[in-house]
């Protein structure tokens, strides 16, 4: 089957957060008429096999309680993760959840107490901080450092270990690939992370939701695959939602290799009454992981080509702006600090003047001031229009 990411699909008026609900996310800014390039979903249809599977179930017309994950579901997950990353999962380790953020929340509740510390690496996907705080745990931060030579973010390992050493630090949320800075952590980085977390007995939640979305020249290594000892100390999350645009179906899986950790996690799911998963979500995940390889290949080519276009355009036309070249994800971290504007001025310029709705860098932590996150999982014309509007806004300064 061939896939067409050149078809423009009008999503206005389709109950989409990205296209229909951005006004309430930008208080004080007039986001009306903005081009939506925020929220991490794509402007494309899911693979036809996913649509067909959902339609078949819908036409059956009986939507009673599903029995939970079955053999074919497990086969789809184990097959996909082995095919993508070479990691052989035991079906017993796989537990479906209603999304990755809920899965993180269950882990926080299961493995930490109120007042304990949970470590994150800002600038990072902001719901991490939000769920830690909402659960009355302490947010411990190990900010990433931007290396000006490589123009890539790196982990400050001295500070990382310092934060792990605190006996109150109980859980570390790893984001790999990292949203928003686009790093795909190397084997060397992951080995250090795994060793240090073992040494200080800090459990790891590895959010690998973006791990299908690896760009040319990089390879994703699941932390749990790297070393049997890490495997016993890591909870990993995967989902088909980013890759195949299924986020509205709210389904993901967590991988829990260690028996006692798995038991405790399942107990927490019982406490939270969160064992049941929507039937359309499991059907869609199974179909995507079974039939989605060609779709993913074509989608990644599209994202790469949008990225190449933007890199070239930015260098030629957007003075003072640079792209931190992502190794993974379809999210692209733009550095606007070279324009000499303040973070407030940058945010206002891009949203109010250029009329492009993006994720503001500061949403990801103070380290994000002066940066903006763009979503490149869009039609080329959307990207071209956004870049041209930014060029005009910068020119009018």
Query: Taking the complex as a whole, how short is the minimal distance between the CB of residue 102 and ligand PLP, in angstroms?
Result: 6
* Contacts with ligand PLP, 89-128, as mask; x by CB under 6 A: ----------xxx-----------------------x---
User: Residue 303's Cα: distance from chain center in Å?
Assistant: 15
Site for ligand PLP in 246-275 (CB under 6 A): 247, 252
Query: Taking the complex as a whole, how short is the minimal distance between the CB of residue 397 and ligand PLP, in angstroms?
Result: 32
* Contacts with ligand PLP, 177-206, as mask; x by CB under 6 A: --x---------------------------
Element (H, E) at 360: strand 359-360
- CA separation for the pair 373, 12 (Å, rounded): 21
* Contacts with ligand PLP, 59-88, as mask; x by CB under 6 A: ------------------------------
Q: Which is nearer to ligand PLP, 220 or 391 (CB)?
A: 220
Site for ligand PLP in 202-231 (CB under 6 A): 207, 209
Site for ligand PLP in 299-358 (CB under 6 A): none
Query: Taking the complex as a whole, how short is the minimal distance between the CB of residue 395 and ligand PLP, in angstroms?
Result: 32
Query: Taking the complex as a whole, how short is the minimal distance between the CB of residue 250 and ligand PLP, in angstroms?
Result: 7
For ligand PLP, which residue of 211, 236, 239, 290 counts as binding (CB under 6 A)?
239
Asked whether position 236 contacts ligand PLP by CB under 6 A, the answer is: no
Which runs of consecutive H residues, i.e. helices, occur in the chain? 17-20, 48-60, 71-85, 100-111, 127-134, 157-165, 187-199, 223-226, 228-231, 241-244, 259-271, 279-291, 293-317, 343-348, 380-395
- CA separation for the pair 256, 170 (Å, rounded): 17
Look at residues 39, 58, 95, 70 and name the one whose alpha carbon lies nearest to residue 248.
39
- The number of residues that bind ligand PLP (CB under 6 A) is 13
Residue 243 contacts residue 252 (beta carbons within 8 Å): no
Q: Cβ atoms within 10 A of the Cβ of 92, count?
A: 11
- CA separation for the pair 359, 223 (Å, rounded): 28
Sites of contact with ligand PLP (CB under 6 A): 40, 99-101, 125, 175, 179, 207, 209, 239, 241, 247, 252
């Amino acid at each position: 089957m061939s896939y067409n990411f050149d078809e423009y699909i009008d999503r206005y008026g389709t109950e989409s957060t990205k296209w229909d609900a951005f006004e309430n996310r930008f208080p004080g800014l007039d986001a009306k008429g903005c081009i939506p390039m925020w929220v991490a979903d794509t402007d494309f249809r899911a693979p036809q096999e996913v649509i067909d599977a959902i339609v078949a179930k819908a036409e059956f017309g009986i939507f009673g309680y599903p029995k939970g994950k079955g053999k074919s579901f497990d086969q789809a997950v184990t097959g996909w993760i082995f095919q993508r990353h070479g990691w052989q999962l035991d079906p017993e380790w796989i537990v479906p959840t209603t999304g990755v953020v809920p899965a993180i929340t269950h882990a926080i509740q299961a493995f930490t107490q109120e007042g304990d510390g949970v470590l994150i690496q800002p600038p990072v996907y902001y719901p991490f901080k939000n769920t830690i705080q909402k659960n009355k745990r302490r947010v411990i931060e190990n900010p990433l450092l931007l290396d000006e030579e490589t123009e890539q973010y790196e982990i400050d390992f001295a500070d990382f270990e310092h934060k792990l050493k605190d006996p109150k630090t109980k859980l570390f949320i790893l984001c790999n690939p990292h949203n928003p800075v686009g790093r795909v952590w190397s084997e060397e980085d992951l080995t250090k992370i795994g060793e240090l977390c073992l040494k200080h007995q800090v459990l790891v939640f590895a959010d690998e939701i973006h791990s299908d979305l690896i760009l040319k020249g990089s390879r994703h290594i699941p932390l749990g695959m790297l070393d049997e000892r890490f495997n016993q100390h890591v909870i990993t999350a995967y989902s088909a939602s980013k890759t195949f645009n299924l986020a509205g179906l709210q389904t993901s899986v967590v991988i829990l290799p260690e028996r006692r950790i798995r038991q405790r996690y399942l107990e927490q799911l019982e406490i939270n009454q969160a064992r049941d998963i929507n039937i359309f979500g499991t059907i869609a995940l199974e179909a995507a992981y079974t039939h989605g390889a060609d779709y993913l290949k074509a989608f990644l080519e599209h994202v790469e080509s949008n990225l190449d276009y933007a890199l070239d355009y930015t260098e030629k036309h957007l003075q003072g702006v640079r792209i931190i070249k992502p190794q993974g994800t379809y999210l692209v971290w733009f550095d606007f600090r070279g324009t000499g504007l303040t973070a407030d001025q940058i945010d206002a310029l891009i949203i109010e003047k250029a009329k492009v709705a993006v994720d503001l860098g500061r949403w990801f932590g103070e380290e994000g001031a002066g940066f903006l996150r763009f979503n490149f999982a869009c039609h080329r014309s959307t990207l071209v229009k956004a870049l041209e509007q930014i060029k005009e806004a910068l020119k009018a300064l």
